[in-house]
Each structure stands twice: as structure tokens, then as C-alpha cells.
């Protein structure tokens, strides 16, 4: 599932990411932009697209399929 983390101090929000990566980016934001303030805000779950988009293996498979189709059409 993909998550987006929102800062509780300003308008910062992460991209749709895995939970651990989003949490780390939010923490990095707080360290840089709001030193001394504990990380806060809220987390939003992507319910419309729970997988967060197309994965690398899926994209690679599509590319390979397109290459096979292109090679078959050249004959």
C-alpha cells in the first residue's frame, strides 16, 4: 500500500511511498525544517491505488512484450 505523510507544522507532504520510506522522509523534513520539534502531522493511505502505481517488474514485462511485438511485426 502507498502512503503520503503530511507535516503538522507546514504544508509539506511526501509523495506516495511505502510506509517506511514515507516515514523516513517526514522525519528528515522535520530534522531540517523544524529542528527540536517532534515529528507530527498525519498519514494518508492511497485507497484508490493501494499498490502505489506500476512496479519495476511490471514495467520491464511491458517493455519486453512491446519489443517482442515490434520484432514480430518487422518480418
Q: Which three cell numbers stand for residue 58?
A: 511490471
Whether 67 has a pLDDT exceeding 60, the answer reads yes
| 18-65 confidence digits (pLDDT tens) | 999 999 999 999 999 999 998 889 999 987 765 555 566 677 788 888
Instruction: Give φ, ψ of 69 to 5 degrees.
Output: -65, -45
Print the domain residue range for 15. 3-73
Residues counted in the chain: 75
Q: Which three cell numbers stand for residue 3?
A: 502512503
| pTM for the whole structure | 0.61
Closest by CA to 17, choosing from 6, 9, 30, 8, is 6
Q: How far apart are CA 68 and CA 64, in angstroms?
A: 6
Mean pLDDT confidence for 3-10: 93
Q: How far apart are CA 53 and CA 47, in angstroms?
A: 12
Question: How many domains in the chain?
Answer: 1
Amino acid at each position: 500500500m502507498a502512503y503520503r505523510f503530511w507535516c503538522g507544522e507546514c504544508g509539506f507532504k511526501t509523495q506516495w511511498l511505502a510506509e517506511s520510506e514515507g516515514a523516513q522522509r517526514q522525519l528528515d523534513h522535520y530534522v531540517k525544517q523544524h529542528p527540536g520539534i517532534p515529528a507530527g502531522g498525519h498519514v494518508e493511505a492511497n485507497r484508490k491505488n493501494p499498490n502505489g502505481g506500476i512496479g519495476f517488474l511490471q514495467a520491464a514485462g511491458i517493455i519486453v512484450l512491446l519489443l517482442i511485438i515490434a520484432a514480430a511485426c518487422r518480418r
